[in-house]
Amino acid sequence: MKLIAAMSGGVDSAVAAARAVEAGHEVIGVHLALSSNPQKYRSGARGCCTIEDSHDARRAADVIGIPFYIWDMAEEFHDGVVENFLSEYSEGRTPNPCLRCNEKIKFAAVLDRAKGLGFDGVVTGHYAQMHETEIGRMMYRGIDPTKDQSYVLAVLNTEQLAGAHFPLGDTVKDDIRIEAKRRGLYVANKPDSHDICFVPSGDNAGWLRDRLGSEVGSIVDEDGTKLGEHKGAYTYTIGQRRGLGITVPAAGGEPRYVLKIEPKTNTVVVGSHEALAVSKIIGDRPIWCGPEPVINTEHRGFAQVRAHGTPLACTYLQTGAEIKVELDEPLFGLAAGQGLVIYDGDRVVGSATVASTE
């Protein structure tokens, strides 16, 4: 096959490209420039967006022996990921920009361009597996539980997944580093990326405050009694306990947690741990990574709501426009906007965006 390898400059995508070449594919390396001004998103040795990273990616492509190009996706990234991140926060939701980037950039803008140019698909260094099964080509968790990235890929529909290649899913990260070294890829010891790539400081709250302002608002309890003030409701996370700056202690002295963020009134609602309990989740914008589950019928599976969260046993039902999940055991703290991913064992069934919880 003719494949485009998306190369971030990190070790995973470099080894993925090398493996694709070794598997006999005709591979071209592409580094995505995600900022029109690379200095703006400069982030030292992290995952993407710096001049150094584009040079690292180029060097890896040279060592592997494949052509290398830089594709300017700055506009698409800004409009599709960064702006969306801001607007979601400003509406009181908690988005996951990596999900969004996979859905709108890596396996949409890049895949479409690749196909237009006459390529068959895109190779990335994500830790997930594609297996041929009786029901078609399905996505499964990567075997390294600490690196598994199937969660952030669950926004890809079957058509996108048909053009997706994840050569690293059958290997643990430590072995990838050893392999990178054996292959002479000097990025072998480059640190993993963790933070959001366009928030180079890692200070998510500060980055949001700079862009959305820091209007003072109230922190209230569930009855509406004012307990303190905050500087920007969107800098709080559902389930957050520390740093609330509440001066009035709870009657029983128990800790209080963020329960709700109300952007319209710029209010943060806090309460007890029990009040965070969620046993029903409704997600909208469903995307199916394989065959669509029979509509309006209960299915058993696992729900996962964070990239490395625990899979929670559940019963789910899809209505066409929504996925409704009933958890066997409650989870504590879930924000609207988070990704809801449904698994059948290790197979990714599909995903939705958390709209509401009970």
Partner 1 sequence: MTIYLDHAATAPINEAAIDALNIAMRKLGNASSIHNQGRSVRKDVEDARHKLSELIGANPSEIIFTGSGTEANNLAIKGFFWQHPDRNVIVTSAFEHHAILDPVEWLVEHEGAEQVLIPITKAGVIDLDFLKKVVAERGNEIAVISIMHSNNELGSIQPISEIVKIAGKIPVHTDAVQSFGKVEFNFAALDVTAATISAHKIGGPLGVAALVLKRGLDLTPVLHGGGQEREIRSGTLNAPAIVAFTAAAEYAIANMNNNFQQIRELRDYFVAGLKKCVPDVSINSVSDPALPGIVNATFPGTESDALLLLLDTEGISASAGSACSAGVPRPSHVLVALGLSESDADASLRISIGTTNTKSEIDQVLAVMPSVVERARNAFVVSGLN
Binding-site member from 5, 15, 16, 38 for partner 1 (CB under 8 A): 38
Considering Cα of 47, then 50, then 56, then 58, what sign does the dihedral take? positive
Rounded Cα distance, 244 and 75, in Å: 36
Tell me the closest approach of the beta carbon of residue 107 to partner 1, in angstroms.
13
Q: Which is nearer to partner 1, 68 or 166 (CB)?
A: 68
Write out the two tokens for 64.
């592997």
Nearest C-alpha neighbor of 154 from the set 144, 146, 166? 166
Catalytic residue from among 48, 98, 101, 289: 101
Pair 41, 198: CB distance under 8 Å: yes
Decide if residue 159 touches partner 1 (CB under 8 A).
no
Pair 153, 287: CB distance under 8 Å: no
Decide if residue 253 touches partner 1 (CB under 8 A).
no
Decide if residue 29 touches partner 1 (CB under 8 A).
no
Tell me the closest approach of the beta carbon of residue 36 to partner 1, in angstroms.
7
Nearest C-alpha neighbor of 11 from the set 162, 161, 182? 182
Decide if residue 112 touches partner 1 (CB under 8 A).
yes
Q: Looking at 102-110, 155-163, 202-210, 230-238, which segment touches partner 1 (CB under 8 A)?
A: 102-110
Enumerate residues 41-80 that contact partner 1 by CB under 8 A: 50-51, 54, 58, 67, 69-72, 74-76, 79-80
**H or E element, residue 248:** none
Nearest C-alpha neighbor of 33 from the set 198, 143, 235? 198
22: CB partners within 8 A, 6+ apart: none
Rounded Cα distance, 123 and 144, in Å: 19
Catalytic residue from among 49, 98, 197, 314: 197
Q: Which is nearer to partner 1, 114 or 336 (CB)?
A: 114
Q: Which is nearer to partner 1, 56 or 148 (CB)?
A: 56
DSSP state of 321: S
Pair 54, 35: CB distance under 8 Å: no
Number of residues that bind partner 1 (CB under 8 A): 29
Q: Which is nearer to partner 1, 28 or 99 (CB)?
A: 28
Pair 123, 18: CB distance under 8 Å: no
Rounded Cα distance, 61 and 171, in Å: 21
- Assess whether 98 carries a catalytic annotation: no
Decide if residue 347 touches partner 1 (CB under 8 A).
no
Decide if residue 337 touches partner 1 (CB under 8 A).
no
Tell me the closest approach of the beta carbon of residue 26 to partner 1, in angstroms.
9
Binding-site member from 3, 7, 14, 28 for partner 1 (CB under 8 A): 28
Nearest C-alpha neighbor of 33 from the set 88, 82, 85, 71? 71
Helices (H), 183-239: 204-212
Q: Looking at 33-41, 198-206, 287-295, 322-330, which segment touches partner 1 (CB under 8 A)?
A: 33-41
DSSP state of 37: S
What angle in degrees, to the nearest 10, is found between the helix axes of 11-22 and 51-64?
20
Give, in order, the Cα–Cα distances in Å from 309 to each of 20, 179, 201: 30, 28, 24
Q: Which is nearer to partner 1, 15 or 27 (CB)?
A: 27
Q: Looking at 104-112, 165-173, 253-261, 306-314, which segment touches partner 1 (CB under 8 A)?
A: 104-112
Decide if residue 93 touches partner 1 (CB under 8 A).
no
- Assess whether 101 carries a catalytic annotation: yes
Tell me the closest approach of the beta carbon of residue 234 to partner 1, in angstroms.
22
Question: What is the set of active-site residues?
Answer: 101, 197
Binding site for partner 1 (CB under 8 A): 28, 31, 33, 36, 38, 50-51, 54, 58, 67, 69-72, 74-76, 79-80, 104, 108-109, 112-118
